[in-house]
Amino acid sequence: MTPNALNRRSMLTGGSLLGLGTLLTACAPHDTTPTGGAATASGAAATNSSSSTGNSAGEYRKADAKGPAQNVPKPNAPEDGYREKTAAGIRKTMDAWNQWINYGIQTGDYSKAREFLSSTNDGELKIYREIEALYRRGGWVIDGIQYFKPVGEPWTEDDQTYRLKTRHEWDKETDVEPDGRQETWSSDKEEEIYIFALEHRDGRWQILYSQIDV
């Protein structure tokens, strides 16, 4: 375990590292669903009974030191209107993406989360590749659930790139290697403010990048 771990997202998505370091247990999340998402226009984060193992009747179990999460339910389809070039469309897109990254951290499957990203979003894609590689070699992740809750309305200065400020709440993340070695990522803050940049392209919203608001 790294004694003074840093938030992986801050390091890989271009955020400031100032103030990060002390390892603390994150505050309890507001949404108790295993793939809980950001606040949306309807205020809901929906999931269904499908699982990553194909056993829809199996009971969901969180990851622990003995093994990865089991029977992780897949999120439902995004809310109607998530592709629309509106403020609501941005919020619905962000909510759907948030649920799929929480699915990915527990299963090593980021295939759906990728659909919400621009191909130029190198920082986020690097996070996905690292986690997927961990699962492929027999490791897994404990905790790591994230919540991006919108703060205010999206804005734009050129009608092309839109930005949305979000409050980032997350559990600490512990990566477990097949041989039992662990590395924990955390922050000395209970929450961080991120700004996401999005562009409406090919009939849908694509997340270009994210950055800590300093």
Indicate the angle between helix axes 87-107 and 122-136, nearest 10 degrees.
Answer: 30
- Work out the pLDDT band at 214, boundaries 50, 70, 90: confident
**Domains of the chain, start order:** 8-212 (3.10.450)
- Angle of CA points 188, 141, 198, to nearest 5°: 70
pLDDT 10s digits, 11-32: 665 543 222 222 222 223 334 4
* pLDDT number for residue 190: 67
| Residue with more model confidence, 155 or 7 | 155
Q: Lowest mean pLDDT: which of 43-52, 122-131, 169-178, 201-210? A: 43-52
Output the pTM of the full model: 0.79
**Contacts for 37 with CB less than 8 Å, ≥ 6 apart:** 31, 45, 75, 95, 96, 98, 99, 102, 147
Buried b (16+ CB within 10 A) or exposed e, 153-174: ebeeeeeeebbbbbebbbbbbb
Average pLDDT, the chain: 80
* pLDDT number for residue 84: 97
Q: Please state, in angstroms and as integers, the Cα–Cα distance from residue 175 to each residue in 117, 121, 204, following that order.
A: 24, 23, 33
Percentage of the chain surpassing pLDDT 90? 65
Can you tell me the mean pLDDT for 59-77? 97
Q: Residues 190, 177: contact at Cβ < 8 Å?
A: no
